[in-house]
């Protein structure tokens, strides 16, 4: 997902990683060429309210980051996809039994 974020972010864009990701190589050439701002957070830096407001103010963009949606009963399939599919940016699990179209 992080590699996808590097490829999808616009020049001068910001990537915010909340939580932990597995160790990986970062393409710093791409970071430099696109002048990307990288922010890492475990959610305890006090920025979380700002992130929530950013998502609220840009709901269409935030929704576009969710590339796949699954009902909770298909969680195993969703986790399998998250490990195997390079095209999956974010996968959403619905606990209400219904899933919006992708």
Q: In angstroms, rounded to a whole number, what is the distance separating the alpha carbons of residues 55 and 49? A: 10
Q: In angstroms, rounded to a whole number, what is the distance separating the alpha carbons of residues 36 and 33? A: 8
pLDDT digits (tens, 9 = 90+) for 38-85: 988 776 667 778 888 988 998 888 888 888 999 989 989 998 888 877
Residues 32 and 71 in one domain: no
Q: How many domains does the chain have?
A: 2
CA 25 to chain centre: 17
- Residue 101 counted as domain residue: no
Residues 37 and 8 in one domain: yes
The closest of 100, 35, 43 to 71, measured between CA atoms, is 100
Q: In angstroms, rounded to a whole number, what is the distance separating the alpha carbons of residues 65 and 58? A: 11
- Residue 21 counted as domain residue: yes
Alpha helix segments (H runs only) across the chain: 2-8, 28-33, 48-57, 59-64, 75-84
pLDDT digits (tens, 9 = 90+) for 16-46: 887 777 787 889 999 999 999 998 877 666 7
- Is the pLDDT at 101 greater than 80? The verdict is no
Coil, strand, or helix at residue 77? helix
Residues 74 and 53 in one domain: no
Tell me which residue range forms the domain holding 79. 65-96
Residues 76 and 87 in one domain: yes
- Residue 84 counted as domain residue: yes
Residues 79 and 55 in one domain: no
């Amino acid at each position: 997902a992080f590699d996808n974020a590097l490829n999808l972010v616009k020049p001068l864009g910001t990537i915010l990683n909340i939580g932990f990701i597995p160790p990986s190589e970062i393409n710093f050439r791409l970071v430099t060429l696109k002048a990307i701002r990288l922010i890492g957070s475990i959610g305890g830096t006090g920025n979380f309210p700002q992130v929530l407001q950013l998502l609220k103010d840009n709901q269409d963009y935030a929704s576009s980051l969710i590339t796949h949606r699954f009902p909770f009963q298909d969680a195993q399939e969703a986790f399998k996809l998250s490990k195997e599919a390079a095209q999956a940016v974010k996968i959403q699990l619905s606990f209400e039994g219904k899933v919006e179209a992708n």
